[in-house]
Amino acid sequence: MMLSLNVALVVTDPMTRLFSVGLRELLISACAVFFLCGFVKERVFVPSMPINLPELKHRITQAVTDIAEDMLVKAWEETACRLDLCRVINGTHIEHI
């Protein structure tokens, strides 16, 4: 989030700051949550399914622990690449990326 911090320092108007930094952070957070939910679901809900709450909590904890830093870096780079593509084409439709 260093980029967001730098942008916030440049922008002085509070409303402009909200839209230039806040929405970007929200979008990035949504992408991160979407990625993490999919990753965790793939590891938690596998046969045999968890049969009780402690087992479910253990599987979720283990799945989150298994997320490697390298994986997060690659996910961030891919998200940044897609955002750059959206900027270049001015938000028009993309068949598939």
Closest CA to 79 of 36, 42, 41, 44: 36
Spell out the domain ranges in the chain.
Answer: 30-62
Cβ neighbours for 18, distance < 8 A, ≥ 6 positions apart: none
Question: Is the distance from CB of 45 to CB of 51 less than 8 angstroms?
Answer: no
Tell me which of 5 and 67 has the higher pLDDT: 67
pLDDT in tens, 62-77: 998 888 888 888 888 8
Task: Give per-residue pLDDT as tens, 26-60.
Answer: 555 666 677 778 888 999 998 888 889 999 999 99
Distance between CA atoms of residues 41 and 38, nearest Å: 5
DSSP string, 34-63: HHHHHHHHHHHS-SSPP-SHHHHHHHHHHH
20-29, 53-62, 82-91: which has the minimum mean pLDDT?
Answer: 20-29
